[in-house]
């Protein structure tokens, strides 16, 4: 096997396994339609996805908030556009499309942590430890004992408060950090593929 193929194959295999393990952790979220949580703001993003799919309006203007405002003043339109597209592509309800989207990005986020730590340290074990730690525990467990529960805290925040946009954006940050780290370590854009 050529040099560099084994680590690349290991990263791919580890990424697939981590994605599947996280997807299993999120199994109820993949099938969920509506939550019975009054504290959640996810209905806002579900309704925005519905408005976009039914009207396919320009995503730079949000007519439903504050008697009309620029869409980028409230949240970036990516989540809402993906809800509209997922509901259309999967023939799913808007709520189900929203939950599929946030489950997908949550799972990608755990893989992104693994790739970031493995790329930075070169250690497969450190990558698995970091991904497992992010998936299952939170630093707030050390600071606030009453937050310790059976549910991983990031998942609880996602489900109880509807923090889909924040969790989704946090999910892709490690990939951006890894790309920047590799670029600043002396490689060109070609090194981002390694």
Residue 90: domain span: 8-182
Assess if residue 153 is contained within a domain.
Answer: yes
| DSSP code, position 122 | -
Assess if residue 189 is contained within a domain.
Answer: no
Looking up tokens 């396994």 gives: 17
**Which pLDDT score is estimated for 143?**
76
Assess if residue 190 is contained within a domain.
Answer: no
**Which pLDDT score is estimated for 111?**
95
Residue 55 CB: number of other CB atoms within 10 A?
10
Assess if residue 191 is contained within a domain.
Answer: no
Assess if residue 3 is contained within a domain.
Answer: no
Assess if residue 192 is contained within a domain.
Answer: no
Q: Phi and psi for 62 in degrees, rounded to 5? A: -115, 100
Residues of the chain falling short of pLDDT 50: 1
**Which pLDDT score is estimated for 71?**
64
Assess if residue 108 is contained within a domain.
Answer: yes
**Which pLDDT score is estimated for 57?**
62
**Which pLDDT score is estimated for 130?**
92
Specify the number of domains making up the chain. Answer: 1
**Which pLDDT score is estimated for 168?**
82
Assess if residue 119 is contained within a domain.
Answer: yes
Give the 3-state secondary structure of residue 114.
helix
Q: What is the pLDDT of residues 24-61, one digit of tens each?
A: 988 888 888 887 777 777 887 888 888 888 877 666 67
Q: Which positions ≥6 away from 184 have C-beta within 8 Å?
A: none
**Which pLDDT score is estimated for 138?**
74
**Which pLDDT score is estimated for 187?**
61
0.85 cut: is pTM over it?
no
């Amino acid at each position: 096997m050529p040099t560099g193929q084994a680590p690349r194959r290991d990263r791919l295999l580890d990424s697939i396994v981590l994605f599947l393990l996280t997807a299993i952790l999120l199994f109820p979220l993949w099938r969920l339609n509506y939550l019975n949580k009054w504290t959640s703001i996810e209905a806002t993003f579900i309704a925005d996805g519905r408005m976009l799919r039914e009207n396919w309006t320009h995503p730079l203007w949000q007519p439903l908030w504050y008697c009309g405002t620029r869409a980028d003043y409230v949240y970036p339109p990516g989540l809402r556009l993906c809800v509209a597209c997922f509901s259309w592509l999967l023939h799913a309800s808007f709520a189900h499309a929203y939950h599929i989207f946030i489950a997908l990005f949550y799972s990608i986020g755990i893989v992104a942590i693994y790739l970031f730590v493995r790329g930075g340290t070169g250690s497969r074990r450190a990558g698995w430890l970091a991904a497992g730690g992010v998936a299952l525990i939170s630093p707030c467990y050390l600071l606030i004992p009453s937050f310790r529960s059976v549910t991983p805290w990031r998942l609880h925040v996602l489900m109880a408060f509807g923090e889909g946009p924040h969790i989704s954006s946090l999910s892709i940050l490690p990939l951006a950090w890894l790309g920047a780290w590799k670029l600043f370590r002396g490689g060109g854009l070609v090194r981002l593929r390694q």
